[in-house]
Each structure stands twice: as C-alpha cells, then as structure tokens.
Chains A and B, each alone.
Chain A
Amino acid sequence: MVERLSPLEPEFHVGSHGNFEHGVEILLTETRPGSIVQLAAWPGEEKKLIAAIRAVTGLALPDGAGGGLSEGVKAVFGFAPGKFTVSDEAEGLAHAFAKAVTPAIGTVTDLSHGRTAIRIAGPKAEWVLAKFFAIDFALPAFPVGAGRSTVHHDVFAQIQRTGTDQFDIYVFRSFARSFWKALCHASEEVGYEVQ
C-alpha cells in the first residue's frame, strides 16, 4: 500500500514548544487512524446500525445523543441523529461495514482520507480547546467517550473525549494544517509537546 501523506507534515515539529520551561501542560499528536468511517441509519433503523457497529468493531455504543466509547485502537461516537463516526487503527473498515450495513439499515461513507484526527491531552486540554469551541468541555457536561459536533469559524470539528484530559478532534483534511497551527499557537502559553 502507498503510505498516506499527513496534511500536517511541514508544521509538525516533534518536541517541546512555547512556555515549556516550567513543564508542558499539553501534548499534541496526530493519531492517523487507518480508517475513519461515517455511518448513518434511516429513521427507525438506528438500533440495527448500532448492532452492526458492535458486530464489526466489538464496541457497544451507550444510549443517548453524542454517546460513544473508545477502546485502544478503535473508537465510535454519535455526532448527529442516527449518525456515527467510527475509527480504527487498521485500514479497511468501510469495506467491513459495507457488508454489515445493508441498504435497508443505512449508508456507509469512507472518510479515511478526508478527515484528520488530532489528539490533544494534558491538564490544560480543556483550557486550550475552550479558546476554539463554544461548547462546555467540563467533564460532567462532556463525559469520557462522548462525541460532539461543533465548529471553529469555518472549521467543522467532531470531538470525542477519549480520556479525562484527552480529546480526539476530527477535522476536514484541507483545514487540518491551519487548525493545527492555531492549536499549537493557542498552546504556547501553557507549554506543549508534539509527539
């Protein structure tokens, strides 16, 4: 297989940056999942779609809008009514779902190239993200595993909380470098490390 080029490449500088002399409070990285797939159920078929997700990935989605979970290399969360984003370290997830999600249940859209996954972690992750998005990042309002659809200016983002102080942000690939630069910039005051 041909390796995929990261859109962040020229702006991805491994190491510590910004005001890091007193320790870094933000870790930034690109998770580069092999597969990012969007699944969408027809009205009334959501339960079957959730079952298909479980069958293919082994992930059992919790109830409720924006519910989700992540386990190691796989993650799933709801981002809109009847719609879910699934990611996996391995490639080929869209192909696997093509069989499990029949036309009667819904549709499968492969976005493995089209979305870039950026992970922000650390004690100041909520603080830095609050500079971009008008949503409440506090743990009670945004529990671990949950997903949110939101926007920073024109940059659409789906955000999954994958840890107490860790978030995975899925952005359009064309915006990824611009958003990454802004994220680094916003992290400077607390010190950040790119891994």
Chain B
Amino acid sequence: MLITCPYCGPRDVIEFTYQGDGNRERPDPASQNFEAWNAYVYDRLNPAGDHNELWQHSGGCRAHLRVVRNTLTHEISSVAFARGNHAPAARRKSEDKP
C-alpha cells in the first residue's frame, strides 16, 4: 500500500502510522459535555466505503495527513496535510452509534 504524502510523494505504508478515525472533533477544552467527550474518545466510524482517516508520515516528514480511503477497495482518493484542514463536517448518524 502506498500513501502519497503531499510533501514526500508516494511512500510505502511502512513509513506511516495510523492515527485514528479522522471524523472525530475534539470538544472545546473547557467543555464539560461528557457525551461529546465520550464520543470523541471512544466512538469510531467504521464505514464500508470511503473513510476519513488520519495518518502520520512518521517515517518521513512526520506530518499528519487526512486520508480518504475506501475500506472496500483500498483506494485512496485524497491526501492532504491535517494542519489547516479540519475534520470533515460530522457525518455521524444515529445508526453509526453502537
């Protein structure tokens, strides 16, 4: 598997670390909304199809990347720096929750 790092170009997956579901949005640090924190820390989307993922090019430039990867075909349709690119608008539907 190759991921095309926007800085380094296409690199083998051995250079990358998966950093989790890219759909999560961290609540405001001062927030006491426990539901929101719980969702952020524990809830993960597991779609059959395109998935927003976070990867770090840990064995390269070390930038975190937002990767859209299809969990069925393994096709990567986009890669962007995480810095300056927010989590996609929440796609979490009620049926996604456990």
Direct contact of A and B (CB under 8 A): yes
| A contact residues vs B (CB 8 Å cutoff) | 43, 65-66, 79-81, 83, 134-135, 148-151, 156
Q: Which residues of B contact A156 (CB under 8 A)?
A: 59
Further 19 A-B residue pairs, CB within 8 A, beyond A150-B59, A156-B59: A43-B83, A43-B84, A65-B6, A80-B7, A80-B60, A80-B61, A80-B62, A81-B7, A81-B63, A81-B83, A83-B61, A134-B14, A134-B15, A148-B8, A149-B8, A149-B59, A149-B62, A150-B15, A150-B60
Main secondary structure of the interface of B (DSSP, over half): loop
Question: What 4 A-B pairs are tightest by C-beta distance, nearest first?
Answer: A151-B59, A80-B61, A134-B12, A149-B60
Q: State A151–B16 Cα separation when bound (angstroms).
A: 10
Q: Which residues of A contact B62 (CB under 8 A)?
A: 80, 149
The chain B residue with its CB closest to the CB of A154 is B59
The reply to whether the CB of B44 lies closer than 8 angstroms to some CB of chain A is no
CB distance from A156 to the nearest CB of B (A): 7
Could you say which of A43, A65, A134, A135 contacts B7, with CB atoms under 8 Å apart?
A: A65
| B contact residues vs A (CB 8 Å cutoff) | 6-9, 11-12, 14-15, 58-63, 81, 83-84
Residue pair B8, A66 in contact (C-beta under 8 Å): yes
Q: Which residues of B contact A134 (CB under 8 A)?
A: 11-12, 14-15
Residue pair A65, B8 in contact (C-beta under 8 Å): yes
Which among A43, A79, A149 has the highest number of chain B CB atoms within 10 Å?
A149
Q: Which residues of A contact B61 (CB under 8 A)?
A: 79-81, 83, 149
Residue pair B84, A135 in contact (C-beta under 8 Å): no
Q: State A15–B28 Cα separation when bound (angstroms).
A: 62
CB distance from B27 to the nearest CB of A (A): 25
CB distance from A78 to the nearest CB of B (A): 8
The chain A residue with its CB closest to the CB of B59 is A151
Q: State A84–B14 Cα separation when bound (angstroms).
A: 23
